[in-house]
Amino acid sequence: MKLSSVLLCLLLASLALARDFRPAGHMESITAADSSVQQCYIFPTIAGVRYMVESSHDLTNWTVQDEIYGLGNEYVVTMREFTPPPPPPPGTPPTTPPSPAWNASIRMERASGAAGGTVVSWASFDDRSPVIVRISGEMATGWNSVPLFAERYGAFYYFVWHPADSVEPPAENAALGPNDAAMLANLEAHLPAMNQEVTDSAARARNAPEPAPPDPDATKFWRVKVDSSSDTDGDGTPDWAEFEIAAREAGTTPAVRGDAFIADTNHDGILDGDQLDTDQDGTPDTKDIYLGDNTASFPITPLPRYGMFPILNAQAPLGYTPEALQVNDKGRVLYETGTWAGGVWTPLIPPPGGPQQIGNQIPQAIAINDNDVILGYGSFPVADNPLIYGGICCFWKALDQPPLKVTSSSTLGGRYAGQPSEGFIMHGLTPQPVLSNDNCFTAKTCEWSMLPGDTERKFHFLQSSFWTLPSGNSTLSTEAQGELSIVFHQISSLHWGYTVTRDENGSETGVRKGKVLAPAQLPDLPFFPYNVITRPNGLLALRSQSDAGVPFAYLQGGWKECPQYSYAFDIATDGTAISTNRENITAPILLNDKWTGIEITAPLQTAAFDPPPPWHDSSVTLVDTTPGGWILAQRGSYPPYDYAVMLPIRAEGYYSGSDGNILTEAVGVDDFSIGSESPGNAVQDRIWIMAPQGGFNKIVKLKAPLNSNTPLNLSASNILLNGQESATVSAVVNAVTLRAADTESSGGERLMTVRMGSGDNEVSSVSEPIGLKIMKGRTVNVTVYKVTKIYGSDPPAPTDRSPDPVDEIMMPTQDEITKHLKDIFRPQINVVFNVNLVEEPLRVHWDTAHTPFFDIHIDSPIPGEEDAILAKIPANPAPYDIRVFIVANPGGPLGADADAYGITDRAQRTSWVHGSLFGRNRSKPFLLDTIAHEIGHVLVGVGHPDKNTFQGQAPLPGTQHTRRLMVSGPNSNSSSHLLVKGEWDEAEKWLKAREQQGGLGQ
Amino acid sequence: MLFALILSGSVLARSPSWFQERMQEIDSAHALSKDEQIELLGVLVGIGQSPMDDEQRLVYLKAETALLAIPGHAEYYRDKILQSQERAKTIGPYALSNYAEEIMYSFQTLPLLPSPEGVSVLGELLSNDWVPPGNDTAIASEKFLPLSLKAMDVLTRFPILDKPFKTPLTMENVADAQAAWRLWYEQIKSGERTFRFEGDPTEYDLHGPAPGQKLEHISRDRKRDTEREAGHERIAESPVAAPSKSMPVALLIASIVLLASLGWYFAKARSRGIS
Write down the ipTM of this complex: 0.75
| Angstroms from A962 CA to nearest CA on chain B | 12
Range in A579-588, A971-980, B42-51 the model is least confident about: A971-980
Q: What is the mean pLDDT of residues A295-301?
A: 86
Beta bridge partners of B257: none
Q: What is the mean pLDDT of residues A116-132?
A: 83
Q: What is the pLDDT of residues B12-56, one digit of tens each?
A: 567 788 999 999 999 999 999 999 999 999 999 999 888 888 999
Nearest chain A residue (CA) to B25: A996
A14: three-class secondary structure by DSSP = coil
What is residue B235's predicted lDDT score, i.e. its pLDDT?
A: 39
Q: What is the pLDDT of residues A429-453, one digit of tens each?
A: 777 888 999 999 988 888 888 888 8
Query: How many CA atoms lie less than 13 Å away from A434 in the CB half-sphere?
Result: 26
**A16 has a pLDDT exceeding 70:** no
Residue A794 DSSP symbol: S
Q: What residues 115-154 of chain B have any CB closer than 8 A to a CB of chain A?
A: 132, 134-135, 137, 139-143, 145, 149-150, 152-153
- Rounded to whole angstroms, how far apart are CA atoms B168 and B151? 16
Of A904, A951, A969, the CB nearest to B94: A951
Q: What residues 186-225 of chain B have any CB closer than 8 A to a CB of chain A?
A: none
A61: contact with B, CB 8 A cutoff: no
- Rounded to whole angstroms, how far apart are CA atoms A995 and A894? 31
Greater model confidence, A947 or B87: B87
- Rounded to whole angstroms, how far apart are CA atoms A478 and A459? 20
B61: contact with A, CB 8 A cutoff: no
A949: contact with B, CB 8 A cutoff: yes
**A905 has a pLDDT exceeding 60:** yes
Q: C-alpha A255: how far from its chain's center? A: 26
E strands, A209-343, are 219-227, 305-311, 324-327, 333-335, 338-341
CATH number of A649-775: 2.60.40
Of B93, B171, B275, the CB nearest to A933: B275
- Residue A896: its chain B contacts at CB < 8 A? 266-267, 270
Q: What is the mean pLDDT of residues B146-171?
A: 90
Q: Does residue A746 contact residue A693 with C-beta atoms inside 8 Å?
A: yes
Fold of the domain built from segment(s) A778-996: Collagenase (Catalytic Domain) (3.40.390)
B67: contact with A, CB 8 A cutoff: no
- Residue A901: its chain B contacts at CB < 8 A? 275
Cβ B141–A898 below 8 Å, yes or no?
yes
Q: What is the mean pLDDT of residues A972-987?
A: 86
- Residue B139: its chain A contacts at CB < 8 A? 948
- Rounded to whole angstroms, how far apart are CA atoms A218 and A54? 17
When pLDDT is cut at 50, 70 and 90, the band that residue B274 belongs to is very low
For B184-223, give the DSSP string: HHHHHHTTS--B-BTT----EETTEEPPHHHHHHHHHHHH
Q: Kind of pairing, strands A558-561 and B208-209?
A: unpaired
Q: Does residue A246 contact residue A258 with C-beta atoms inside 8 Å?
A: yes
B166: contact with A, CB 8 A cutoff: no
Domain ranges of chain A: 1-98+210-227, 314-492, 649-775, 778-996
Q: Does residue A221 contact residue A57 with C-beta atoms inside 8 Å?
A: yes
Of B47, B134, B273, the CB nearest to A942: B273
**Single-letter amino acid, residue A992:** K
Kindly state the helix (H) or strand (E) to which residue A28 belongs, with its residue range: strand A26-31
Cβ A896–B134 below 8 Å, yes or no?
no
Cβ count within 10 A of residue A146: 19
**B144 has a pLDDT exceeding 80:** no
- Residue B11: its chain A contacts at CB < 8 A? 781, 834, 836, 878-880, 1001
Cβ A906–B153 below 8 Å, yes or no?
no
Specify the length of chain A in residues. Answer: 1002
What is residue A831's predicted lDDT score, i.e. its pLDDT?
A: 97
| Angstroms from A262 CA to nearest CA on chain B | 20
Angle at B258 between CA B253 and CA B264, to 5 degrees: 130
A104: three-class secondary structure by DSSP = strand
Cβ A859–B145 below 8 Å, yes or no?
yes
B110: three-class secondary structure by DSSP = helix
Cβ B171–A836 below 8 Å, yes or no?
no
- Rounded to whole angstroms, how far apart are CA atoms A23 and A76? 12
Nearest-CA neighbor of A173 among A210, A117, A135, A118? A135
Greater model confidence, A651 or A198: A651
Greater model confidence, A31 or B61: B61
B111: contact with A, CB 8 A cutoff: no
Greater model confidence, B152 or A148: B152
| Angstroms from B252 CA to nearest CA on chain A | 21
Nearest chain A residue (CA) to B170: A862
Q: Name the burial class of residue A686, with classes exposed (0-12), middle (13-18) and buried (19+) by CB atoms within 10 angstroms of its CB.
A: buried
φ, ψ at A287 (rounded to 5°) = -105, -5
Q: Considering chain A, what percentage of its residues have pLDDT values greater than 70?
A: 91
**Single-letter amino acid, residue A359:** G
* Long-range residue pairs from A663-666, CB within 8 A, at least 24 positions apart, any chain: A663/A823, A663/A827, A664/A701, A665/A963, A665/A975, A665/A977, A665/A978, A666/A824, A666/A827, A666/A828, A666/A963, A666/A965, A666/A975, A666/A977, A666/A978, A666/A979
Of A834, A859, A986, the CB nearest to B272: A859
What is residue A84's predicted lDDT score, i.e. its pLDDT?
A: 81
Kindly state the helix (H) or strand (E) to which residue A512 belongs, with its residue range: strand A508-517
Q: Which letter, b or e, does each residue of A277-301 get, where b requires 16 or more Cβ atoms within 10 Å of its Cβ?
A: bbbebebbbbbbbbbbbbbbbbbbb
- Rounded to whole angstroms, how far apart are CA atoms A9 and A22? 10
- Rounded to whole angstroms, how far apart are CA atoms B221 and A964? 63
- Rounded to whole angstroms, how far apart are CA atoms A8 and A225? 11
- Residue B59: its chain A contacts at CB < 8 A? 998
Sign of CA dihedral A504, A507, A508, A514: positive
Q: Does residue A714 contact residue A726 with C-beta atoms inside 8 Å?
A: yes
Q: What residues 426-445 of chain A have any CB closer than 8 A to a CB of chain B?
A: none
Cβ B270–A876 below 8 Å, yes or no?
no
Of B139, B156, B271, the CB nearest to A895: B271
- Rounded to whole angstroms, how far apart are CA atoms A351 and A931? 73
Cβ A953–B273 below 8 Å, yes or no?
no
Q: What residues 219-248 of chain B have any CB closer than 8 A to a CB of chain A?
A: none
- Rounded to whole angstroms, how far apart are CA atoms B39 and B76? 9
What is residue B247's predicted lDDT score, i.e. its pLDDT?
A: 38
Nearest chain B residue (CA) to A966: B275
**Single-letter amino acid, residue A538:** G
Q: Report the mean per-residue pLDDT for chain B.
A: 77
- Residue A900: its chain B contacts at CB < 8 A? 141, 271, 274-275
What is residue B226's predicted lDDT score, i.e. its pLDDT?
A: 67
What is residue B255's predicted lDDT score, i.e. its pLDDT?
A: 45
- Rounded to whole angstroms, how far apart are CA atoms A133 and A124? 12
When pLDDT is cut at 50, 70 and 90, the band that residue A553 belongs to is very high
What is residue A289's predicted lDDT score, i.e. its pLDDT?
A: 84
**A816 has a pLDDT exceeding 70:** yes
Of A879, A933, A934, the CB nearest to B6: A879
Greater model confidence, A195 or A144: A195
**A782 has a pLDDT exceeding 90:** yes
What is residue A73's predicted lDDT score, i.e. its pLDDT?
A: 81
- Residue B18: its chain A contacts at CB < 8 A? 998
Nearest-CA neighbor of A698 among A665, A732, A667? A667
Q: Does residue A778 contact residue A831 with C-beta atoms inside 8 Å?
A: yes
Q: Does residue A948 contact residue B139 with C-beta atoms inside 8 Å?
A: yes
Range in A10-24, A510-524, A591-605, A632-646 the model is least confident about: A10-24
When pLDDT is cut at 50, 70 and 90, the band that residue B220 belongs to is confident
B31: contact with A, CB 8 A cutoff: no
**B275 has a pLDDT exceeding 50:** no
This prediction's pTM: 0.83
Cβ count within 10 A of residue A202: 7
When pLDDT is cut at 50, 70 and 90, the band that residue A490 belongs to is confident
Greater model confidence, A828 or A961: A828
Beta bridge partners of A64: A54
**B147 has a pLDDT exceeding 50:** yes
Q: What is the mean pLDDT of residues B152-166?
A: 92
What distance, in Å, lies between the first and last C-alpha atoms of chain B?
A: 40
Cβ count within 10 A of residue B124: 17
Q: What is the mean pLDDT of residues A44-63?
A: 84
Range in A216-225, A909-918, A966-975 the model is least confident about: A966-975
Q: Does residue A997 contact residue B9 with C-beta atoms inside 8 Å?
A: no
Greater model confidence, A753 or A79: A753
When pLDDT is cut at 50, 70 and 90, the band that residue A960 belongs to is confident
What is residue B10's predicted lDDT score, i.e. its pLDDT?
A: 40
Cβ B140–A855 below 8 Å, yes or no?
no
Q: Does residue B134 contact residue B123 with C-beta atoms inside 8 Å?
A: no
Q: Kind of pairing, strands A130-135 and A902-905?
A: unpaired
What is residue A225's predicted lDDT score, i.e. its pLDDT?
A: 80
Q: Does residue A878 contact residue A837 with C-beta atoms inside 8 Å?
A: no
Q: What residues 500-519 of chain A have any CB closer than 8 A to a CB of chain B?
A: none
Nearest-CA neighbor of A101 among A151, A41, A37? A151
- Rounded to whole angstroms, how far apart are CA atoms A886 and A884? 6
Q: Does residue A771 contact residue A749 with C-beta atoms inside 8 Å?
A: yes
| Angstroms from A128 CA to nearest CA on chain B | 10
- Rounded to whole angstroms, how far apart are CA atoms A552 and A562? 5
Q: Does residue A30 contact residue A106 with C-beta atoms inside 8 Å?
A: no
A855: contact with B, CB 8 A cutoff: yes
**Single-letter amino acid, residue B239:** P
- Residue A950: its chain B contacts at CB < 8 A? 93, 96-97, 100, 132, 134, 140, 142
Q: Report the mean per-residue pLDDT for chain A.
A: 86
What is residue B258's predicted lDDT score, i.e. its pLDDT?
A: 46
Q: What residues 631-650 of chain A have any CB closer than 8 A to a CB of chain B?
A: none
Nearest-CA neighbor of A236 among A974, A978, A973? A973
Nearest chain B residue (CA) to A128: B139
Cβ B145–A971 below 8 Å, yes or no?
no
Q: Does residue A379 contact residue A396 with C-beta atoms inside 8 Å?
A: no
When pLDDT is cut at 50, 70 and 90, the band that residue B154 belongs to is very high
Kindly state the helix (H) or strand (E) to which residue B102 belongs, with its residue range: helix B96-109
Of B12, B142, B170, the CB nearest to A999: B12
Of B50, B51, B100, the CB nearest to A943: B100
Which of A520-524, A900-904, B69-73 has the largest mean confidence? B69-73
| Angstroms from B10 CA to nearest CA on chain A | 5
- Rounded to whole angstroms, how far apart are CA atoms A867 and A856? 9
What is residue B57's predicted lDDT score, i.e. its pLDDT?
A: 93
Q: What is the pLDDT of residues A193-241, one digit of tens each?
A: 888 888 776 545 566 666 666 665 667 888 888 888 788 887 889 888 9
Q: Does residue B177 contact residue B167 with C-beta atoms inside 8 Å?
A: yes
Q: Name the burial class of residue A440, with classes exposed (0-12), middle (13-18) and buried (19+) by CB atoms within 10 angstroms of its CB.
A: buried
